[in-house]
Every structure is written in C-alpha cells, then in structure tokens.
Amino acid sequence: MNDDGFTFLPGGARVSKADARMDALGALDELGAALGLLKVARAGTPDAALVETMQRDLWRIGGELATGQPALGPDAVAALEGEIARRTAGLPPLREFVLPGASEPSARAHLARAVCRRAERELVRVRATHPEIVFPPALAYLNRLSAWLFAVARTPEA
C-alpha cells in the first residue's frame, strides 16, 4: 500500500502526489477521458479513429513525464496541424465568442478543449521545475490539440 501521499513512477522514482508531474499526469488522464466522450459522440465518423490516435499520443506524453524519455515526435504535431487546416478550411471567420452547447458533440469538444488547455498549463508548470522531462513536441501537441478541438466544436455536424 502507498497511502502516505507519495507514489512511484516507472523506474522506481518516488514522488509526492503534490509534485507538478502528478498534476500534469492527472490533467492528461482527464483529457484522455474527455476525448473518450468525444470519440463516442463522433462514432462512425473519421473523427473517432483520429481521436483514438490522439488518446494514444497523450499516453506517450504521460510516459515522457513519468520516465524522462522522449516518446512523441514532431511528426505527431505536423499531423495534427494538417488536421486543423483540413477542419478549419470550410469554417466561417469568427466574429464573436463561441458559446459552448450548440450540440452534444460540440459541447463535448469544448469540454475537452478546456481540459486540454489546463493540461498544457500543467505541463508548462512541470517545465519550470523539471525542464529535462518536458520535450518541445509535447507542448506543441497540446497547443495544437486545443485548436483542433475548437475547430471540431465549431463544425456544424459536431
């Protein structure tokens, strides 16, 4: 049992559950769950498979935080940028703030986007104390993922 406020990371490092890494890992876990809800809402569409890939990418980022070894490459960021361009190509320009809740899938995308932004902020906090375990593709990926989620939320069929 480990009920003393500490946990073990892969490799045996014992860290406080108040460590910034644990906050970031928790936010990534929440984001994966929020993406799971979006995946269910978009079942039967190409988005569902794409969201599952994103969930796997989040596990890679979590692995980086836990082990200090890079796992997510810049190719994942580039692929996400391509998806953002494809998704936003047909959207009208923004003229006002977007109120979440146009549809259930849209609301789920907005919720995932908000969690993603928090995960990004938590990763930035980790970088302040553990710069050696936060790799540039991870931060870029979370930033682009929130942009993709915003685009999905704005898509009429979402």
In a domain, 65, yes or no: yes
* CA 49 to each of CA 58, 99, 135, 154: distance values in angstroms, whole numbers, following the listed order: 14, 27, 25, 19
User: Is 95 contained in some domain?
Assistant: no
Answer whether residue 20 is part of any domain.
Answer: no
What pLDDT, in 10s, does the model give residues 83-137? 999 999 989 888 888 888 889 999 999 999 999 999 999 999 999 999 999 999 9
Residue 148 in domain: yes
What domain count does the chain have?
A: 1
**Residue 105 within any structural domain of the chain:** yes
**Does a structural domain hold residue 51?**
yes
Distance of CA 51 to the CA centre of its chain: 10
Residue 2: the pLDDT is 56
Render pLDDT for 13-50 as a digit per residue (tens, 0 to 9): 899 999 999 999 999 999 999 999 999 999 999 999 99
User: What is the domain-level CATH number for residue 119?
Assistant: 1.20.1200.10
pLDDT confidence band for 70 (50 / 70 / 90): very high
Is residue 32 within 8 A of residue 59, CB to CB? The reply is: yes
How many C-alpha atoms does 136 have within 13 Å on its Cβ side?
A: 3
> Is residue 128, in this structure, part of any structural domain at all?
yes
